[in-house]
Amino acid sequence: MVRRLLIYIICVFGFAVTTKAEEDLNVSTLIFEHLADSYEWHITEGAVIPLPCILIEEGGVEVFLSDKLEHGATYKGYHIATEGDHGGKIVNAAGERPFDISITKNVLELFIVCILLCSVVLGLARWYKKNGYKKAPGGFVGMMEAVIDFIDKDIAKESIGHGYERFSPYLMTVFLFILTSNLLGLLPVFPGGANLTGNIAVTLTCAVTAFIAINCFAPKEYYKSIFWPDVPIFLKAPLPIMPTIEFIGVFTKPFSLTIRLFANIMAGHIIILALTSVVFVTAQMGATMCASMTVVSVLFCIFMNCLELLVAFIQAYVFTILTANFIGLAHSE
């Protein structure tokens, strides 16, 4: 609540300032540009990594680098729309969206996370294969073992109980995926910086996998408790009130997972960006103002980054433990 209020205040403050110096700096555009996906990886002024665009239409597949479309240029009839429903996305000459599976900034970040995750976990597995169980791990392996064992025993076993072994690899994957994405998102330079877990497509996919894990392996009793729950007959016979509520509940659980992760991470990014923008906004208000506000901004930024570090862990943990609890609920008699 406090955080939402803060975002609101900062956004209003940002708008108020930008209306004054519109031609110099537009804070909200800047923030939303950072939050949204983009076709190239903008590191700093002049240092832009072009990423491949892959567009599928009835005519076939088009593959080209994104620097062909820089500054509103048109390439093979494609250009990046500036406004409307498809603002910031590639559209064809008729203004329609092709099926766009370009390697955007978020997709590249996704690949980085996946490669990191695979190499770390498979490397760990190789360590265990080589050393067996007779050697005690230390350092990084020991840390990862603590995390994996924590998810296996304290989250999966505790929440699901009997038969938890089937679900613990999924819970570990989702925990490490979200955690790695969150942490990389906090990095301001190249390997990080993309707003992956603050993107609804990513959190939606995570939640859909959770939905599958919850519902597709549930026993018969679970479906009976949804469509014919153990309540007085008038609550379910002529008008299926309880079954309707239960049925909606099946979908609200993963939906809440989607929104919670998305909103938390996005809000964190907005706050940090807004606090950073304070420096540039106050640049036009004279040296004293700018200097004092810079100190405040940097202090707040440090504080918010520490908080976001905490949030990165908490949100990964919350997503995992809630999924585990939902699976456990589905499997309890």
Tokens of 114: 């996946």
51, 103 in Cβ contact below 8 A? yes
Residue 125 binding other proteins, by CB under 8 A: yes
Residue 118 binding other proteins, by CB under 8 A: yes
Residues of 275-307 as b/e, b for ≥16 C-beta within 10 angstroms?
Answer: bbbbbbbbbeeeeeebeebeeebeebbeebbee
Reduced to 3 states (helix: H, G, I; strand: E, B; else coil), residue 103 is: coil
Residue 104 binding other proteins, by CB under 8 A: yes
Residue 36 binding other proteins, by CB under 8 A: yes
Residue 110 binding other proteins, by CB under 8 A: yes
Question: Which residues is 79 bridged to in the sheet?
Answer: 91
Whole-angstrom CA distances from 314 to 7, 66, 206 are 20, 36, 16
**Cα 66 to Cα 104: distance, rounded to the nearest angstrom:** 9
- Determine which residue in the list 57, 67, 145, 158 makes contact with other proteins, applying CB under 8 A: 145
> At closest approach, how far in Å is the CB of 282 from other proteins?
25
Could you tell me which stretch among 85-93, 231-239, 241-249, 323-331 binds other proteins (CB under 8 A)?
85-93
Q: How many residues bind other proteins (CB under 8 A)?
A: 50
> At closest approach, how far in Å is the CB of 242 from other proteins?
31
- Determine which residue in the list 18, 26, 66, 102 makes contact with other proteins, applying CB under 8 A: 102
> At closest approach, how far in Å is the CB of 332 from other proteins?
23
C-alpha distance across the termini of the chain, in Å: 37
Nearer to other proteins, 226 or 272 (CB): 272
Residue 148 binding other proteins, by CB under 8 A: yes
Contact string (CB under 8 A) for other proteins, positions 263-292, x = contact: ---x--------------------------
- Determine which residue in the list 11, 124, 235, 309 makes contact with other proteins, applying CB under 8 A: 124
**Cα 264 to Cα 108: distance, rounded to the nearest angstrom:** 22
Residue 73 binding other proteins, by CB under 8 A: no
Residue 111 binding other proteins, by CB under 8 A: yes
Identify the residue whose tokens are 């589905």.
Answer: 330
> At closest approach, how far in Å is the CB of 155 from other proteins?
13
41, 108 in Cβ contact below 8 A? yes
Question: Which residues is 63 bridged to in the sheet?
Answer: 54
**Cα 278 to Cα 296: distance, rounded to the nearest angstrom:** 9
267, 5 in Cβ contact below 8 A? no
Residue 106 binding other proteins, by CB under 8 A: yes
**Cα 150 to Cα 156: distance, rounded to the nearest angstrom:** 9
Which residues contribute to the site for other proteins (CB under 8 A)?
32, 35-37, 85, 87, 89, 99-104, 106-107, 110-111, 114, 117-118, 121-122, 124-125, 128-129, 132-134, 136, 145, 148-149, 152, 165, 168-170, 172-173, 177, 199-202, 204-206, 209, 266
